Structure 1
Amino acid sequence: MNSSPRAGFVLTAVACVLVGASFTAGGALVDYPHAGGQALRYGSACLLLLWPARKQAGRRLRALTVRQWARAAAVAAVGMVGFNLAILAAERTAEPAVPGVLVGCAPIVVAVLVPLGAGRRPTVTVTGGALLVAAGAFVVQGWGGTDGAGLFWSVLALAGEVGFALLAAPLVRPLGPPLLSACVCALAALEAGAVGMATDGSAALRMPTGSEALALGWQSVVATVIGFVCWYAGLQRIGTERATLFSGLIPVAAAVTAPLVAVGTFGTGQLLGSVLVACGVAVGSGALRRRRARDGAPAPRTDAAPVPAATPGPAAHHAGPGPATARAEPAAEAAAAP
């Protein structure tokens, strides 16, 4: 296995584990205004992300077309703010596991849509791995009660998770992972702030308590800053199809860390689901076949074409080394998706 795919696997895995772990920390934000919390989280993350990308930020951002700016705004609206709002709406009438299971199907949708959009057939290995990942997410979370409205909003949450993966992929090359992360966080902060002012008015923001401040800090610095950069850097190396397989690690990480703060248990179901997710990631990513190739078997052609690496030029120069993702707020502890 060459270093680029290996690094991509590690980066996307780290990103999704950080997202899952953030659900546990997010329990302290249940009573904080939701949209206002998103605005604070993404706004502070943007400021932190702009620093490492500051030298080339102006030139790269000026080189973006109107269409690319619209795509970045859609990433923030659909995959970040919209995703969170859909999760919250779903959980008004559905148990948290319902949107969690639906969002866990994102690897299947991506495994089908990406190759079809590229004019090729979905591959058996990636699709099969995605099915195992979705099954593992189901076993980890279980299934809960819901009504039509809860199911509808859960499907919209799935669309937000898929949109977060698909819409951002063409922006990785011109911006690079750090600047892309900063850009979508800035747009998400503005969009969340607008939603908060429209729904909560001046109550959209308030001084957080000590525990709320710590949770916001974790979600901003660890899950968003580190997570988003790792996610986009990994996606750049291994492609959208294979990167999305790792989103199955989100509910696994949440299930593993929840008992550490006495907000859940890790039992046989969670263990079996974790094994299914691991098998799905290994099969779909091609890691097992690459290992056989190292042992003497011929290496097969990679199923999923990665996002092209950044090359020097007026719009792209040194993409740089590289989570969305943590987009889910604490009310979505059982759901997957920066």
Structure 2
Amino acid sequence: MNGWIKGAIAASVVGASFPVSGALTDYSYTAGQLIRYALGALILIALLKGRLGRPTLKELALLNATAAVGMVGFNLAVLAAVDHIGATNAGVIIGASPVVLALATGHRQVLPAALVVVAGAAIVNGADSGVTLLGTLLAIGALVGEVGFTLLAAPLLPRLGPMRVAAWAAILATVQLAVLSRGEIPTPTLTHTAAILYLAVITTALAFVLWFSAVQSLGSGRAGLLVGFMPIAAVAADAALNGRAPSAADLAGTALVAIGIALGARPETAKALLRGGTRAASAAASAGTSSTCPAASSSPAGAPPAPASRR
């Protein structure tokens, strides 16, 4: 199984878990995530037969940061953002992670593909007017957590491997959540238990390992493109669980995501697009500076905002 397939499965599994997580909205967040990560850690430890390796102090620090930023912090920020601006608006902001990963890793050749993927994911997610400053900041915090989950773990993968990184991160997330919950764990209902088991077995023990394998194989920038599968999988799971047929926007967004990922899988195509865009920008700049019209040579700051910026 190559890195693209592993990453696509991982992102799809995580996306499909969003409707499942909805079953836990009336249960203690910290307790639910604590049980989830504890069970996931036990499964991974069993699969590793207890051979967790011996992380150095630097590696332990990175593992702790991965758990704090990409697991505990991310989930806290997502829940708060959804509470303030709704899942669709939060999803559009968090869905920008492929672009952020491409920029953060310096993979400029992936940037055109990342922009296409983000556009497609934004269409699938949708957006409305219920955006607030606090909610936006919380969603940006979740975006940072999403990106940090990949970037912080990437240096650990060559020596520890995907499964050990996932196991250690789950262990440390469990400890962090135990501190936050202060040991208060309400008794879950059967519905809560089923949702927690799904998140522990399918999302934590399976998807995290596949995702780290994809990052190790493809690199953070290219693997980040596959995040576009998350909203698509969420829509598909919602359709299966609740009988909601995908809209025309869902289908159009899915097509864009597929095109973006295809571009990312063919770096030479993405490079050609990037060179073409650079040449077009240079030509436009030359035309603007040689114009005798004052408005043509004015700074971008003085220009009216683009329609996309008025959302």
Same fold (TM over 0.5): yes
Matched, 1:277 2:257: yes
Alignment: residue pair count: 269
The code of the aligned residue for 2:78 comes to I
Q: For structure 1, which segment, 159-168 or 83-92, has the greater mean C-alpha deviation from structure 2 after superposition?
A: 83-92
Cα distance in structure 1, aligned partners of 2:26 and 2:164:
32
1:11 counterpart residue number: 6
Please identify which structure carries the higher helix content.
2
Matched, 1:31 2:26: yes
With structure 2 as the length reference, what TM-score do the two structures score? 0.83
Cα distance in structure 2, aligned partners of 1:79 and 1:86:
10
- Measure how far apart 1:195 and its partner are: 1.5
2:119 counterpart residue number: 135
Cα distance in structure 1, aligned partners of 2:78 and 2:19:
16
**Alignment partner of 1:206: what SS?**
coil
Change (3 A) 1:160 1:208: same
Cα distance in structure 2, aligned partners of 1:89 and 1:77:
16
1:175 counterpart residue number: 160
**Alignment partner of 1:208: what SS?**
coil
Matched, 1:188 2:168: no
Of 228, 237, 246 in structure 1, the residue corresponding to residue 217 of structure 2 is 237
Change (3 A) 1:184 1:36: same
Cα distance in structure 2, aligned partners of 1:239 and 1:108:
14
Change (3 A) 1:150 1:255: same
- Measure how far apart 1:92 and its partner are: 2.7
1:118 counterpart residue number: none
The code of the aligned residue for 2:9 comes to V
2:230 counterpart residue number: 250
Matched, 1:113 2:97: no
Change (3 A) 1:132 1:264: same
Aligned positions of 1:289-328 closer than 5 A? none
Cα distance in structure 2, aligned partners of 1:193 and 1:245:
33
1:157 counterpart residue number: 142
Cα distance in structure 2, aligned partners of 1:180 and 1:91:
29
1:245/1:285 contact within 8 Å kept: no
The code of the aligned residue for 2:175 comes to L
Q: For structure 1, which segment, 66-75 or 255-264, has the greater mean C-alpha deviation from structure 2 after superposition?
A: 255-264
Cα distance in structure 1, aligned partners of 2:88 and 2:268:
31
- Measure how far apart 1:264 and its partner are: 4.4
Q: Which runs of 5+ in 1 are unaligned?
A: 1-5, 116-121, 291-338
- 4+ residue stretches of structure 1 with deviation over 4 A? 287-290
Cα distance in structure 2, aligned partners of 1:208 and 1:38:
12
2:74 counterpart residue number: 83
- Measure how far apart 1:179 and its partner are: 1.1
Cα shift readout 1:221-275 (whole Å, capped 9, x = no counterpart): 0111110111111111111111111011000000111011117441101111111
Cα shift readout 1:280-314 (whole Å, capped 9, x = no counterpart): 11101228969xxxxxxxxxxxxxxxxxxxxxxxx
Residue identity (%): 36
1:14/1:227 contact within 8 Å kept: yes
Cα distance in structure 2, aligned partners of 1:196 and 1:274:
38
Considering only CA atoms, is the larger Rg found in Structure 1 or Structure 2? Answer: 2
Of 212, 216, 232 in structure 1, the residue corresponding to residue 192 of structure 2 is 212
Cα RMSD (Å):
1.7
Cα distance in structure 2, aligned partners of 1:241 and 1:287:
12
